[in-house]
Amino acid sequence: MNGKINNNVGFSKTEGRTRKLTIREQLIQVRDFKGINDILHPMLGRIAVDRSKVSDLLLTDDSHLLRYKASMFV
pLDDT, one tens digit per residue, over 23-40 is 999 999 999 999 999 999
Residue 38, classed as helix, strand or coil, is strand
Enter the pTM of the model: 0.74
Give residue-wise pLDDT tens across range 40-57.
999 999 999 999 999 999
> Is residue 1 over pLDDT 60?
no
Domain ranges for the chain, please list them: 29-72
Torsion, Cα of 33, 36, 42, 45 (10° steps): 160
